[in-house]
Amino acid sequence: MAAMAPGGSGSGGGGVNPFLSDSDEDEDEVVATGERRAVLRLGAGGGLDPGSAGSLSPQDPVAVGSSARTGLPGEASAGAVALGSAGETPARLSIDAIAAQLLRDQYLLTALELHTELLESGRELPRLRDYFSNPGNFERQSGTPPGMGPPGVPGAAGIGGLGGREPSTTSGGGQLNRAGSISTLDSLDFARYSDDGNREADEKVAVLEFELRKAKETIQALRANLTKAAEHEVPLQERKNYKSSPEIQEPIKPLEKRALNFLVNEFLLKNNYKLTSITFSDENDDQDFELWDDVGLNIPKPPDLLQLYRDFGNHQVTGKDLVDVASGVEEDELEALTPVSGTLPPTLETLQPVENSMLVQKLEDKITLLNSEKWSLMEQIRRLQSRKLSPAFHQALLSFCRMSADSRLGSEVSRIADSEKSVMLMLGRCLPHIVPNVLLAKREELIPLILCTACLHPEPKERDQLLHILFNLIKRPDDEQRQMILTGCVAFARHVGPTRVEAELLPQCWEQINHKYPERRLLVAESCGALAPYLPKEIRSSLVLSMLQQMLMEDKADLVREAVIKSLGIIMGYIDDPDKYQQGFELLLSALGDPSERVVSATHQVFLPAYAAWTTELGNLQSHLIPTLLNKIEKLLREGEHGLDEHKLHMYLSALQSLIPSLFALVLQNAPFSSKAKLHGEVPQIEVTRFPRPMSPLQDVSTIIGSREQLAVLLQLYDYQLEHEGTTGWESLLWVVNQLLPQLIEIVGKINVTSTACVHEFSRFFWRLCRTFGKIFTNTKVKPQFQEILRLSEENIDSSAGNGVLTKATVPIYATGVLTCYIQEEDRKLLVGFLEDVMTLLSLSHAPLDSLKASFVELGANPAYHELLLTVLWYGVVHTSALVRCTAARMFELTLRGMSEALVDKRVAPALVTLSSDPEFSVRIATIPAFGTIMETVIQRELLERVKMQLASFLEDPQYQDQHSLHTEIIKTFGRVGPNAEPRFRDEFVIPHLHKLALVNNLQIVDSKRLDIATHLFEAYSALSCCFISEDLMLNHFLPGLRCLRTDMEHLSPEHEVILSSMIKECEQKVENKTVQEPPGSMSIAASLVSEDTKTKFLNKMGQLTTSGAMLANVFQRKK
């Protein structure tokens, strides 16, 4: 056996030999190819040359039992031994090569024994495994009919015993007959070779059942081929009709179609039409284009398309040369002709019926043969399986199997569903019992099952129960679980339609509208919006709207009301009942006034834009919605002369601000050029900063218009129209210019200029309005209306200007809301000029500076305008009028907060030093608050020292000794900045100088001045008493100063004297406690508690005084 190695493909098979070794890398392979060939040549005398006719596979068409005798293993071994004795090293063969040779020479039992031993040693060989697991290697393929076998061989011969006999062969068919003695790997039971006992009957049954199954499969396949061949056999008369009438095309046969498909696909691949080949394969997915045998049984592969085309001319003849011929042939000649029938010339087409008849006859013979074998096998199985037991005994025996069909679950298990409807019924019965036993965290996995069953179940009651389970699936569903349920509800709604959604889903929502868990109510609120597109329109505007209204008014959970608002927005996008407009407006006002910021934000992002879109369709945006909000603002201002409700003002004004994009979209859509706005050619780009950033996509003008491209075209036409053609006939824009703007400017004039919040709100509104409507609109329509009202010119300066428009909120709103919209150089110059003019006019007319201060505060909040404000102030510093210089000095205080220390050092401090040496004392005094603010906000040591020196000069220079107003301003500044100033500055400068001022005030002979200073000192000491003060400072300066102040108050204000006495007593007690209990430099807990008690008593007494009320708000401010 060691010499039986493969050499090459056999010449007898005419094709690739499937038994050649394909593994030269096995662990037993130790010799080179040349040595292996030398060993093989030794067996030539015994017929072992692998290229000989004896090297056959079971599939080769040449008979295995031919005269070419294969060499025996013994002979090969002898040759190998001879080689060894001759002095040459014998070569070792791989196990794979040995297996291939055994299979090639049909030593199947030997190969099977080798396969079994390899399996037991854990070294399974793929070649042997594949061979013995393929039943096709053992099936009879001979075309000889039953009873027509060769001499000496019966018709059904070849089935040997189950022992170990070699399979018999036939010389006529050339194929291995079915061998009952050989087990395939599928039916092989390795226990049969063990010594565990005799199980021959069971083994026979297993083998026979397997072979019966394979026989049935073969019969079925042959019957299918026979049916196709019979169905598509064209009668001779029809073929004549096709020949006599060339215009009649003979229908293609399935076999021809599959063959042509294979050739076409092959042509496409050879010529690199790979994508076309893939598409062609997809369109013929029932055919395997990699295997020609898939075309049909025993069909030889014709030449490729190119070869057929080139050979076409050799067979082409004219119609008049075509004749019908008949020919008689022998059976063996017909078999020889059959493989090349696909290439016959047209003159031999008459042979086709004969060929089809022979093919049908061969298939019928095979079926008959297999049927007889099938019945034989079934008879053997029946004999082996037959037992003589009574049915009662069988029933009693089976009763020992433990089965339960009496319970509900047992009944379901024993009753297998046999249709889609029965599956739905079973799920409807089982799901209510399954859900409670699933973990809460995993119940969302049941949602698809519940929904599909609810969709398809025939019983309404069961569907209702399933949907009830869906909405109660999870006790408190989180956000992700709610999204999953909502997704399922929407899918259900799309599937079943509006009627069933109304009848089946909505009642589930209604039942849980007042559920105790907010998560369940949140699911209801979200469901109303998600299902809105799939509900009947009458239900949307009645039941669903009422449900949401009830939840908005009654639900206490902010998250639920937020979801309600979003669902209301969706409803507004689908509602089409104009009678519900007023109800929607009332809901809008309720949502805007909600105490929750989440709800208000959702209103601006979803509800208001959706409601505005519906209002625009109804034509009510300019006729009702915006005018109504403006009227409500005017009413608030009229009623708020003694106290404006700023919350409501913010509510209405923010709503107006959110309506600006919808208003601008309306103006564009109703413009004279709207019909000309067509998308063609290159679309102009919209600048990124063209519009303010929207709060939500629904407030994006491009979303409202339809697309960014369409908006770009409209904007181009809009700017051209405004610049060149005007607004004639443009009703929607004229309403904005002639009605909206004048009313807004009138409202602005009524606002309290000292209300920082109101000024800021209106400033933001005008800024968004101007940015949305564009620069041309702002310059030509907005600015002229403000300028007409303000009339800035020195001719208007008079004593009555204090009541004029310059003192109103119009100034800061115009400056910060209109003039800051665009930041080009000319825009900045215009803003600087306006502020300079306002500062000059207000100063020269001795008018209140509140409007200018409001402008500086609003602009100073943005660091981008700090340089600009300093430019305006420097104009005032160098102005010829002391009044203007004095105003500039006071404005510095407002600009310092938030300003960088570099700017303070380089621009503010030099300006203040210049003003502090001004010829006018009023100008010098006006700089003190600004110096104090620097001490409060700056940490740069050098700058602080410069400010400290300047303040010291005010206090110590003899020329200021009698300057009462200067002392008053310094004391007020110390009281304001002292608690928040740098501690060292407070301890070394502020408190000691307050002590000196209190001492000097004791000597003041003018009671009015003395009381004025004493009152301001009282407020300063009240503010500083809350700071940490060291023991030395307390004993040397703070307490002495309080005692001096008490001396003044004893004569001038006894009520203040009582409070001062209490303060002095508490401070003295604090010092005593610190001295007794704690070492110097630290503060005990007891002392801090005393300090807290002191503050409490002090505030209680301070509340009874009216003179110090203005300072109470800032008394206990801590340094930020």
* Contact residues for 766 (Cβ-Cβ < 8 A; gap 6+): 744, 782, 813, 814, 817, 818
Instruction: Report H helices in 386-446.
Output: 391-398, 408-414, 420-434
DSSP line for 87-140:
TPPPPPPPHHHHHHHHHHTT-HHHHHHHHHHHHHTT---HHHHHHHT-GGGGS-
Sign of CA dihedral 622, 624, 629, 635: positive
The DSSP element (H or E) to which 608 belongs, if any, is helix 608-618
* Contact residues for 224 (Cβ-Cβ < 8 A; gap 6+): none
| pLDDT, position 1055 | 80
Average pLDDT over residues 195-213: 63
Instruction: Report H helices in 939-1084.
Output: 941-956, 964-977, 983-985, 991-1002, 1007-1024, 1031-1033, 1039-1052, 1054-1077
Q: Which position has the higher pLDDT, 986 or 1087?
A: 986
Give, to the nearest 10 degrees, the angle between helix 447-456 and helix 460-471.
160
742 three-class SS: helix
Tell which residue, 113, 111, 121, 110, has the closest CA to residue 27.
121
Paired with 602 in beta bridges are none
Is the separation of the CB atoms in 975 and 1024 below 8 Å?
yes
Residue with tokens 């809301």: 817
Residue 5 pLDDT greater than 70, yes or no: no
Q: How far is CA 267 from CA 257, 289, 310, 960, in A?
A: 15, 12, 14, 111
Q: How far is CA 148 from CA 142, 153, 660, 791, 993, in A?
A: 11, 9, 101, 127, 139
Span 1007-1054, pLDDT tens digits: 888 888 888 888 888 888 888 888 888 888 888 888 888 888 887 887
Span 511-546, pLDDT tens digits: 989 999 999 999 999 999 999 999 998 898 889 999
Residue 681: left if φ>0, alpha if ψ -120 to 50, beta else—which one? left
CA pair distance 574, 261, nearest whole angstrom: 55
Burial environment of residue 949 by CB neighbours within 10 A (0 to 12, 13 to 18, 19 or more): exposed
Is the separation of the CB atoms in 559 and 479 below 8 Å?
no
CA pair distance 205, 185, nearest whole angstrom: 15
Is the separation of the CB atoms in 912 and 946 below 8 Å?
no
686 three-class SS: coil
| pLDDT, position 555 | 92
| pLDDT, position 772 | 94
| pLDDT, position 166 | 38
| pLDDT, position 453 | 87
Q: How far is CA 236 from CA 242, 345, 539, in A?
A: 10, 18, 72
* Residue count of the chain: 1120
| pLDDT, position 165 | 36
Is the separation of the CB atoms in 770 and 817 below 8 Å?
yes
Q: How confident is the model at residue 158 (pLDDT cuts 50, 70, 90)?
A: very low
CA pair distance 441, 248, nearest whole angstrom: 70
* Contact residues for 273 (Cβ-Cβ < 8 A; gap 6+): none
| pLDDT, position 185 | 45
Average pLDDT over residues 66-78: 37
Residue 649 pLDDT greater than 50, yes or no: yes
CA pair distance 875, 1084, nearest whole angstrom: 54
How far is Cα of residue 841 from the mean position of the Cα atoms in its chain? 59
Burial environment of residue 956 by CB neighbours within 10 A (0 to 12, 13 to 18, 19 or more): exposed
Is the separation of the CB atoms in 302 and 259 below 8 Å?
yes
Residue 1 pLDDT greater than 50, yes or no: no
CA pair distance 640, 627, nearest whole angstrom: 20
Residue 164 pLDDT greater than 90, yes or no: no
Token pair of 1100, please?
């209680």
SS3 annotation, 536-579: CHHHHHHHHHHHHHHHHHHCCCHHHHHHHHHHHHHHHHHCCCHH
Token pair of 462, please?
């069961």
CA pair distance 201, 186, nearest whole angstrom: 18
Residue 742 pLDDT greater than 80, yes or no: yes
CA pair distance 467, 505, nearest whole angstrom: 7
What backbone phi and psi angles, to 5 degrees, belong to 758?
-65, -40
Span 300-320, pLDDT tens digits: 788 888 888 888 766 654 444
176 three-class SS: strand
CA pair distance 240, 349, nearest whole angstrom: 11
940 three-class SS: coil
Give, to the nearest 10 degrees, the angle between helix 545-554 and helix 518-531.
150
Is the separation of the CB atoms in 3 and 39 below 8 Å?
yes
| pLDDT, position 840 | 92
Residue 1005 pLDDT greater than 90, yes or no: no
What backbone phi and psi angles, to 5 degrees, belong to 418?
-120, 10
CA pair distance 611, 585, nearest whole angstrom: 8
Burial environment of residue 1073 by CB neighbours within 10 A (0 to 12, 13 to 18, 19 or more): middle
Span 386-445, pLDDT tens digits: 666 777 877 777 777 766 656 666 666 656 666 777 787 888 888 888 888 888 778 888
Tell which residue, 148, 169, 172, 147, has the closest CA to residue 160.
169
169 three-class SS: strand
The alpha carbons of the chain give a radius of gyration, in whole angstroms, of: 53
